Amino acid sequence: MVNTNDSIVDKNLVICQPAKGFRFAVDAVYLAWFVKFEKQASLIDIGSGSGVVSALLAFKKGFSDVCAVEYQKRMFSCLKTTVEQNKLEVVTPVNADIRTYKPDREFNIAVCNPPYRHPDTGRVPEDETELNARFTTTLCAEDVFRFCRSYLKNSGSLYLSYDADMTADLFEAGFKYGFEPKRLRSVCPDLYVKPKIVLMEFRKNAGREMSFEPPLYQKINGEQSEEDKNIMQGRWIDKQN
């Protein structure tokens, strides 16, 4: 299997990923940007893939304790390479299935960019790695909330990036496992175009109040917005939003 090493957000940050099949997309960058920095917080990246979100949170936001959990062998190999070649000693790669993984501690923050497509919808990739990364064959939103109910500290935050049309899945799973939605920000391709992605923060055992944040426009009248440009070029002020 052939991999590539690609810079993202910063020329000094290089991600190892498969040359063919599943490769990271912009939603991983948006998710890392959306996470609020907390000094000395322990963080778990669920379904870390090639390590994009973990690397960005350590490299750009300054998180100093990141547990990156990835189930698929090939993606885990890329994750380890990403950590090693960027000298990210604060990121600990773990090869495990989040549905059975039992860490020996709790975390302050969890992040996840879970698959949302069901295997009986749309074109199913022949590549198994891409199949599992895009479809709910080995991970779904409910799995994430179930894990976080046990291993996220009380009042801890769970951050997710998800398909906007499937947002109801997050609310349903969140309420089922004791998580309240606290922040929601939609990502829209352009003005007057419906969002494709939602970024959400849930909090364990929190009160019922949610902030609808202004939409993030990738483009405005066909031109990349200044906000989107700042995100993609890594201009994250003071390691937080």
**Cα angle 28, 41, 98; round to 5:** 55
Residues in Cβ contact with 31 at an 8 Å cutoff, skipping those fewer than 6 apart: 53, 111, 113, 159, 160, 161, 199
> What pTM does this model have?
0.89
Structural domain span for residue 8: 3-239
How many domains does the chain contain in total? 1
Residue with tokens 């920000």: 185
> Quick one: tokens of 175?
């309420």
Task: Report whether 57 contacts 30 (CB < 8 A).
Answer: no
68 vs 32: CA distance, rounded Å: 13
Kindly list the distances between the CA atom of residue 29 and the CA atoms of 38, 55, 113, 123, in Å, as whole numbers in the listed order. 18, 10, 10, 25
Query: Residue 19 has what pLDDT?
Result: 84
Kindly list the distances between the CA atom of residue 22 and the CA atoms of 14, 25, 62, 131, in Å, as whole numbers in the listed order. 17, 9, 27, 8
Give pLDDT tens digits along the chain (241 positions): 788 999 999 999 999 999 887 778 899 999 999 999 998 999 999 999 999 999 999 999 999 999 999 999 999 999 999 999 999 999 999 999 999 999 999 999 999 998 865 555 555 445 444 434 444 456 899 999 999 999 999 999 999 999 999 999 999 999 999 999 999 999 999 999 999 999 999 999 999 999 999 999 999 999 999 999 999 999 875 444 4
130 vs 120: CA distance, rounded Å: 15
Give the CATH number, domain containing residue 194: 3.40.50.150
Cα-Cα-Cα-Cα dihedral sign, residues 161, 11, 127, 70: negative
Query: Residue 139 has what pLDDT?
Result: 87
DSSP codes of every residue in 203-240: EET--S--EEPPPEESEETTEE-HHHHHHHTT--GGG-
